[in-house]
Structure 1
Amino acid sequence: MNVNKLAFQKKYGPWAIVTGASDGIGRAMAIEIANLGLNLIIVARNHERLEALGNEIQKEYKVTVKAIAIDLSIINSVKNLNSQIEEYEIGLFAAIAGFGTSGYFFKANINDELNMIDVNCRSVVEQTYYFANKFISQKRGGIILMGSLVGFQGVPFASNYSATKSFIQNFAEGIYFELKPFGVDVLCSAPGPVLSGFGARAKMKMGNSSSPEEVAKETILALGEKLTVRPGFLSKFLGWSLIILPRLLRILIMRMIMNNMIQLNSK
């Protein structure tokens, strides 16, 4: 199944904004959206990578790209971002920026853990509030939020990260029904392991991984059709096989999976 480009442009164009666009799923999402003919505002911390991606997209897909380098973990960064995009007619918001950690929570750097909450949750809520109101006034639009396979139960050795993704899943499920009557689509994308820079930063071995391109394509296909999409084989397999199990058993299974993905030092 392919996306109807003209219908996509009418519902979500002429501009889209993608956060976390310098790498991984965010980069793949930006390219996928550009391929459907929307102009792009790409956001991430790394200015050089953004500029390179913007030049690549403009050359290949003949759309206009604006790059904004900003750290969404910083308080007031969203207000700063919003002030730079007010003039653009944006119809699609893809909140892909985020990061994770792994290992024992009590050994973690607490500043990293709090920054994760700021990026994965606080900034997403603030941005979603802005775009929800914008899209309601337009009577059209789309919001893509990034959940995760680990967001459907507690996950030992990724306790805080899984909690942030559980927050996003619940948040998306709630606003989906609030915004639907106003012509605004909401989608939560919940992939499993993905081959990107995420694994290196989280210090995890990403086995049986999906490609960022696969995640981006499945996500775009599901926009306007589903509430939650599970891109990739592992996310689908574990999602449907675990859903029938008691929550405690799901947690213990995820503990074993995480044990195989990270190297723990109990000392």
Structure 2
Amino acid sequence: MLDSFMTQLEIVGNRSKCVNMLLWSIFGFGVLKATTLILRIMACFVDLFVLPPVNYSKYGSKNGNYCVITGASDGIGKEFAFQMAKRGFNLILISRTLSKLETLQKEISTKYNVKVEVLAIDVAKDSEDNYSAIKELCGKFPITALINNVGQSHSIPVPFLETDEDEMRRIITINNTATLMITQIIAPMIIKTTKESSKKTRGLILTMGSFGGLIPTPLLATYSGSKAFLQSWSSSLAGELKEHNVDVELIISYLVTSSMSKIRKTSMMIPNPKTFVASTLRNIGRRCGAQERYATITPYWSHALYQLAIVEAVGVYSHLVNYINYVFHKSIRIRALKKAARDAKKQ
């Protein structure tokens, strides 16, 4: 009888130990998650508001080196051209419209006293002649930086099954194929320049990402997928080129006023290209809102806090975020179709 009672006590004691271990494990996991969250929030605020601007002398600015910028004639690409010239880089500007490039060439070279080369090509054509022209022009100059800015989205939100085939191919060609091909041409030139530099010059490759690649976006499925591809590719490339002293960063942005976004009015969440590019170049090499991602930066303060909130609260792949994104873009599609119908009646 006593033995049976003692056995029961032992069983109860063992169960109690297991329960205690489980509770302590849960508590420890909770503390770890809370600590990680606090550290990420602190790191984000330090990146955005405390640390000084990045010094671009480490990338060979004011030393005769060149920065290649694609999609350079308008919007964000045009602003990158101005602000990289201001930092002392010579420029090679690649875009589709020669007249815009020549106007920009004259304006920048006069204002900042830097050398500006231009090349007018349509990367949507994925022509071998295009890439040969890029290689021939860029091979003449010492290059330490590349900004992959060229990009294409849908004309309006559209279900994937209704997406025009030409639009779908154009998005993939511009956002992915052209970006990879141009990087494969320019990156060896950057490595060569940095190795031959008498100073400890580093290389820099920036690629424009998007919240559309961060968060799966219904009704922009092809564009969303193309930008998600760039996230994985750019981070992988960063790991490969680290030993060559080349910094590779994917830049995540939410909405910015531009011809592609079709937004003209700025707000707290929607900066203009000048403000967005300034925040980007100020913070290169820091995570800002992309604390959980390697070689990735979300540089504009409201975009950074928005990303941090989504990632830490529900996750970018949650059903809730997907549904909200769907409803948001469905409303944009409805308004766009109504506007198109009104415009058709006026003709």
TM-score for the superposition, normalised by structure 1: 0.90
Q: 1:223 aligned to 2:284?
A: yes
Residues 107-116 or 182-191, more deviating = 107-116
Counterpart of 1:196 (choices 227, 243, 258) is: 258
Q: Which residue of the partner structure matches residue 131 of structure 1?
A: 186
Q: 1:248 aligned to 2:318?
A: yes
Q: Which residue of the partner structure matches residue 116 of structure 1?
A: 171
Q: Are the counterparts in 2 of residues 14 and 39 from structure 1 also a CA contact under 8 Å?
A: yes
Which deviations, in whole Å up to 9, do the C-alpha atoms of 1:157-184 show, x marking residues without a partner? 1111111110111111111111112100
Residues 166-175 or 243-252, more deviating = 243-252
Q: Are the counterparts in 2 of residues 13 and 91 from structure 1 also a CA contact under 8 Å?
A: no
How much identity, in percent, do the aligned residues show? Answer: 25
Q: 1:15 aligned to 2:76?
A: no
Q: Are the counterparts in 2 of residues 176 and 185 from structure 1 also a CA contact under 8 Å?
A: yes
Q: Are the counterparts in 1 of residues 251 and 298 from structure 2 also a CA contact under 8 Å?
A: yes
Q: Residues 66 and 219 of structure 1: is their aligned pair in 2 closer, same or farther, counting only changes over 3 Å?
A: same
Task: Give the counterpart letter for 1:98 in structure 2.
Answer: G
Q: 1:87 aligned to 2:140?
A: yes
1:191, 1:263 → 2: CA distance?
Answer: 24
Q: Quote the offset at 1:136 in angstroms.
A: 2.8
Q: Quote the offset at 1:185 in angstroms.
A: 0.5
The higher radius of gyration belongs to 2
Q: Residues 241 and 258 of structure 1: is their aligned pair in 2 closer, same or farther, counting only changes over 3 Å?
A: farther
Q: SS of the residue aligned with 1:125?
A: helix
Q: Which residue of the partner structure matches residue 32 of structure 1?
A: 83
Q: Which residue of the partner structure matches residue 237 of structure 1?
A: 305
2:259, 2:61 → 1: CA distance?
Answer: 33
Task: Give the counterpart letter for 2:284 in structure 1.
Answer: L
Task: Give the counterpart letter for 1:88 in structure 2.
Answer: F
Q: Quote the offset at 1:7 in angstroms.
A: 3.5
Q: 1:96 aligned to 2:112?
A: no
Q: Are the counterparts in 1 of residues 258 and 264 from structure 2 also a CA contact under 8 Å?
A: no
- Which structure carries more helix by proportion? 2
Which deviations, in whole Å up to 9, do the C-alpha atoms of 1:50-82 show, x marking residues without a partner? 111111101111101111111111122223222
Q: Residues 135 and 225 of structure 1: is their aligned pair in 2 closer, same or farther, counting only changes over 3 Å?
A: farther
Q: Residues 179 and 194 of structure 1: is their aligned pair in 2 closer, same or farther, counting only changes over 3 Å?
A: same
Aligned positions, number: 264
Which deviations, in whole Å up to 9, do the C-alpha atoms of 1:171-209 show, x marking residues without a partner? 111111111121000011111011011123xx9998742
1:71, 1:81 → 2: CA distance?
Answer: 12
Query: What is the CA RMSD across the aligned residues, in angstroms?
Result: 2.4
Q: Which residue of the partner structure matches residue 272 of structure 2?
A: 211
1:231, 1:157 → 2: CA distance?
Answer: 26
Aligned ranges for residues 165-176 of structure 1 at < 5 Å? Answer: 165-176=227-238
Q: Quote the offset at 1:4 in angstroms.
A: 2.7
Residues 98-107 or 18-27, more deviating = 98-107
Q: Quote the offset at 1:259 in angstroms.
A: 3.2
Q: Which residue of the partner structure matches residue 259 of structure 1?
A: 330
Task: Give the counterpart letter for 1:34 in structure 2.
Answer: A
2:123, 2:274 → 1: CA distance?
Answer: 24
Q: Are the counterparts in 2 of residues 91 and 141 from structure 1 also a CA contact under 8 Å?
A: yes
1:58, 1:150 → 2: CA distance?
Answer: 35
1:21, 1:260 → 2: CA distance?
Answer: 31
Q: Quote the offset at 1:258 in angstroms.
A: 2.3
Q: 1:149 aligned to 2:211?
A: yes
Q: Are the counterparts in 2 of residues 192 and 234 from structure 1 also a CA contact under 8 Å?
A: no
2:224, 2:111 → 1: CA distance?
Answer: 36
Structure 1: tracts of 5 or more residues without a match: none
Residues 169-178 or 32-41, more deviating = 169-178
TM-score for the superposition, normalised by structure 2: 0.70
